Amino acid sequence: MEKYIVYQTTNKINNKIYIGVHCTNNPDGFDGYIGCGVRITQPCTYMNPKTPFQYAVKKYGTGAFIRTTLAKFDTEEEAFELEKKIVNEEFLRREDVYNLVEGGKFHITH
């Protein structure tokens, strides 16, 4: 059964973070997804970067990133509600984040 996680991916080199929502069958495991469309097992998801996060993965390599689950939910709506609370205007003004837009509004359907 699909679950939704709100996660934080941290760049272990510069400590910059990315917060996102991910749909997974195993919320207690790691399926290789680290954020912004990037899967560590699929170089095509970051070798032609379009976002600051994807550029960072290409620059530092997938091994420089670690994903941590912040919360688990049964519904997408609950997950995006938490993301919206975390990734707000104030959060986006920080120097240590890769996120570009406020949370809860834009997402890719899996």
Instruction: List, in order of start, the domains of the chain with CATH numbers.
Output: 3-92 (3.40.1440)
pTM: 0.92
Q: Confirm if 2 and 23 have CB atoms less than 8 A apart.
A: yes
* SS3 of residue 40 by DSSP: coil
Classify residue 12 by its DSSP letter. T
User: Cα–Cα distances in Å, from 67 out to 7, 35, 46, 90?
Assistant: 7, 8, 16, 22
Tens digit of pLDDT for each residue in 11-52?
A: 999 999 999 999 999 999 999 999 999 999 999 999 999 999
Segments in 1-110 forming alpha helices (H): 52-60, 76-86, 89-92
